[in-house]
């Protein structure tokens, strides 16, 4: 009998996943066996005869189902980064079963009785801070997932969770299908006016890959964003914009309107079943923000400080568009004319910057930045299997000792969802006195090299690279005992601090001079370019702040519903984004139906956390600026109290330990130039 690769010991260096041996057909039988093992492990804990203790109950539960977790991490990461019809079919089949198993655990009466016993006796035993955190998280996980419900309530909860699992997958698949199914095929070179040569070359290569003449633009970000930024042809900008902004909002099989309403209704019902007013109340109980009121007040405060600036930003762009005979600027015009305004104000052309941001050099630069801050080194490894030839692997070391594996996957392809994210194939933990170091990955969608040029990043893409690597550092430098509270396993509105703070180094000459060198001449980026980057950092911050706040308002509007769910997605969206609207509505477009962050990812009632974390990162980076951006004392404190600490304590406790004070919301507004004090 052939052993399933996913169930056998991983024999590659550092127990890396054997991607070169895994067949898609391995997953379903591996899930079957791993589920069986996990159930047996949980039942053994629940039926233990001796009195419940932290060790034989809470800790044992923490380390149950490790094989299942390993397989799930591999599978669902592939479903995001290298999916296909077969993987998506397995995901649709296995997701409800995983949700059911999770419910089996959390609704296991005997098991909860033992966890509850440990919780009630917690003051009579000597637990470390980390153990206290794990116990609290474990106990509340049961309570927040129906352990106190009667049998009818528990049955309904199981039904809801199974439905939500399938619906979120379907939502994401529909968005991906709409993204992949559209192409803008151009055969007349006049229609490319305004586009930089590098973008035209990439579009030409895309056409050749599709066996077509001319140029092809897609809804993938490296293709879509440059076209919207530089293409002079207004009608084609509109065509591309409409396709992008109507994903999931159409009359075909990929329409997400009914799915959105069903997800929202189920989340509301689930929260109220558990005794909460709304899904937002349920979610925010375990966040730094703690309540919908505090989130709404936070968003309203940011909106009040930025809306006038946003209107001025739009007016500034409108005034330029009028010169081209455009009396009313539309959404497909804004990015194009914004870029022209930016160039006129700062003489800063992204295309002039790109030659200094060659991808491999930028990777080396982010590595060197991390080395200077945290004394870690990166060594490329060619003996670690990957799931696609584009993926590179590195060993992370400190003082010659292994710290982590790091996977880097940078270019778009058909089986990969849009955007950028950090994930892991294994977290950090200690089991049976053996430490298991993490396997961390970042996934982005940067332009591929062409026949004449390497992959060159825009400055925005550079900050995206540093952002995701900040998440990776959070995972790689983890130092704790329990996988559910190490690394990035922190409150959701705290998780963006390590990523967003790392973006700040992209604006600092001391950092840029390490790696920003012209890919042809080797010339270091001129200081005048750096000054322009810094001066332009506050460009249209009013508009950008309002835009992010509008997404947060939309998210909260869907998830703090406590009565009837709206019947019309578009009407609800229009009403609740109105306060932050600075550009005209466009009929036939919709944000909600492609809002994967909140309907497929984990950001439901949590999108505000991007701005929340910007407050944290602006406040924290002020200390680096004060002491020096590579100051070892500050870097060491950030590593010890933020990166290494993970979720071992409440995030505000950790932040104050690092900073010496609670974060100041006005730090963000100062950095954005929206207040002066």
Tell me the catalytic residues: 468
Element spanning 425, H or E: strand 421-426
For residues 403 and 477, the answer to whether their CB atoms sit within 8 Å is yes
For residues 383 and 415, the answer to whether their CB atoms sit within 8 Å is no
Element spanning 184, H or E: strand 184-186
For residues 608 and 624, the answer to whether their CB atoms sit within 8 Å is no
For residues 569 and 229, the answer to whether their CB atoms sit within 8 Å is no
- Residue 374: what are its φ and ψ, rounded to 5°? -120, 5
Which residue is associated with the tokens 């689930």? 270
Residues 6+ apart with CB under 8 A from 344: 320
Residues 6+ apart with CB under 8 A from 10: 16, 17, 18
Per-residue tokens: 458: 């825009």
| Cα dihedral across residues 125, 131, 136, 142: positive or negative | negative
DSSP 569-615: HHHHHHHHHGGG--S---TT--SGGG-HHHHTSS-TTTTTHHHHHHH
Farthest CA pair distance, the chain: 82
Rg of the chain taking only CA atoms, in angstroms: 25
Nearest by Cα to 642 from 409, 473, 463: 473
| Polymer length of the chain | 677
Residues 6+ apart with CB under 8 A from 263: 164, 167, 168, 171, 599
For residues 429 and 486, the answer to whether their CB atoms sit within 8 Å is yes
How many Å apart are CA 81 and CA 384, to the nearest integer?
Answer: 18
| Cα dihedral across residues 263, 269, 274, 279: positive or negative | positive
DSSP 241-289: HHHHHTTT-SSSTT--HHHHHHHHHHHHHHHHHTT-SSHHHHHHTTSSS
How many Å apart are CA 674 and CA 306, to the nearest integer?
Answer: 7
Strands of the 421-426 sheet, one edge to the other: 377-381, 392-398, 401-409, 439-443, 421-426
Per-residue tokens: 77: 């990461």
Residues 6+ apart with CB under 8 A from 507: 533, 534, 537
How many Å apart are CA 371 and CA 379, to the nearest integer?
Answer: 12
Element spanning 439, H or E: strand 439-443
| CA distances for 388 relative to 112, 427, 457, angstroms | 42, 21, 21
Pairing label, strands 434-436, 439-443? unpaired
Per-residue tokens: 582: 């600075």
Per-residue tokens: 491: 């409150």
């Amino acid at each position: 009998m052939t052993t399933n690769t996913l169930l056998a010991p991983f024999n590659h260096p550092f127990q890396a996943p054997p991607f070169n041996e895994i067949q898609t057909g391995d997953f379903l039988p591996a899930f079957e066996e791993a589920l069986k093992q996990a159930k047996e492990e949980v039942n053994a804990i629940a039926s233990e005869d001796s009195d419940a203790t932290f060790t034989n109950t809470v800790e044992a539960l923490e380390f149950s189902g490790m094989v299942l977790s390993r397989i799930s991490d591999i599978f669902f990461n592939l479903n995001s980064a290298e999916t296909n019809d077969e993987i998506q079919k397995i995901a649709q089949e296995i997701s409800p079963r995983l949700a059911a198993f999770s419910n089996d655990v959390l609704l296991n009466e005997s098991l909860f009785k033992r966890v509850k016993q440990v919780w009630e006796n917690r003051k009579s035993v000597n637990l470390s801070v980390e153990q206290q955190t794990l116990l609290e998280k474990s106990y509340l996980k049961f309570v927040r997932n129906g352990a106190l419900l009667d049998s009818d309530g528990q049955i309904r909860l199981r039904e809801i969770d199974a439905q939500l699992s399938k619906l979120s997958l379907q939502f994401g698949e529909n968005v991906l299908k709409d993204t992949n199914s559209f192409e803008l095929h151009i055969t007349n070179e006049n229609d490319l006016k305004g586009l930089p040569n590098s973008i035209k070359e990439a579009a030409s290569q895309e056409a050749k890959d599709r066996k077509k003449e001319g140029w092809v633009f897609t809804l993938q970000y490296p293709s879509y964003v440059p076209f919207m930024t530089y293409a002079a042809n207004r009608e084609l900008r509109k065509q591309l914009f409409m396709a992008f902004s109507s994903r999931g909002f159409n009359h075909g099989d990929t329409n997400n309107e009914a799915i959105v309403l069903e997800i929202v209704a189920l989340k509301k019902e689930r929260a109220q079943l558990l005794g909460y007013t709304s899904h937002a109340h349920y979610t925010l109980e375990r966040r730094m923000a703690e309540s919908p009121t505090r989130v709404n007040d936070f968003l309203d405060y940011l909106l009040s400080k930025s809306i006038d600036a946003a209107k001025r930003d739009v007016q500034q762009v409108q005034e330029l568009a009028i010169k081209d005979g455009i009396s009313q600027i539309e959404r497909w015009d804004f990015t194009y004319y914004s870029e022209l305004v930016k160039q006129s104000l700062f003489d800063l052309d992204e295309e002039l910057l790109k030659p200094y941001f060659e991808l491999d050099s930028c990777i080396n630069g982010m590595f060197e930045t991390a080395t200077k801050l945290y004394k870690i080194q990166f060594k490329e490894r060619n003996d670690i299997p990957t799931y696609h030839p584009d993926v590179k692997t590195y060993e992370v070391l400190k003082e010659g000792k292994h710290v982590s594996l790091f996977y880097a996957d940078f270019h778009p392809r058909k089986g990969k969802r849009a955007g950028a994210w950090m994930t892991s194939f294994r977290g950090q933990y200690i089991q049976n006195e053996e430490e298991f170091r993490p396997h961390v990955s970042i996934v982005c969608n940067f332009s591929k090299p062409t026949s004449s040029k390497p992959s060159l990043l825009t400055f925005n893409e550079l900050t995206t690279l540093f952002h995701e690597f900040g998440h990776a550092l959070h995972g790689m430098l983890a130092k704790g005992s329990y996988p559910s509270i190490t690394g990035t396993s922190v409150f959701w509105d705290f998780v963006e601090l390590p990523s967003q703070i790392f973006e700040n180094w992209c604006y600092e000459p001391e950092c840029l001079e390490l790696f920003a060198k012209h890919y042809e001449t080797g010339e270091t980026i001129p200081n005048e370019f750096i000054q322009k980057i810094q001066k332009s950092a506050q460009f249209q911050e009013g508009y950008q702040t309002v835009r992010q706040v509008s997404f947060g308002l939309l998210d909260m509007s869907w998830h703090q519903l406590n009565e009837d769910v709206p019947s019309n997605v578009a009407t609800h969206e229009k009403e609740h984004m109105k306060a932050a609207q600075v550009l005209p509505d466009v009929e036939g477009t919709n944000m909600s139906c492609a809002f994967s962050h909140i309907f497929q990812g984990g950001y439901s009632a949590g999108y505000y956390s991007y701005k929340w974390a910007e407050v944290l990162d602006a406040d924290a980076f002020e200390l680096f600026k004060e002491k020096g951006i590579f100051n070892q004392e500050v870097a060491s404190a950030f590593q010890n109290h933020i990166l290494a600490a993970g979720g071992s304590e409440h995030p505000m406790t950790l932040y104050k330990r690092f900073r010496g004070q609670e974060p100041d919301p006005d730090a963000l507004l100062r950095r954005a130039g929206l207040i002066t004090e």
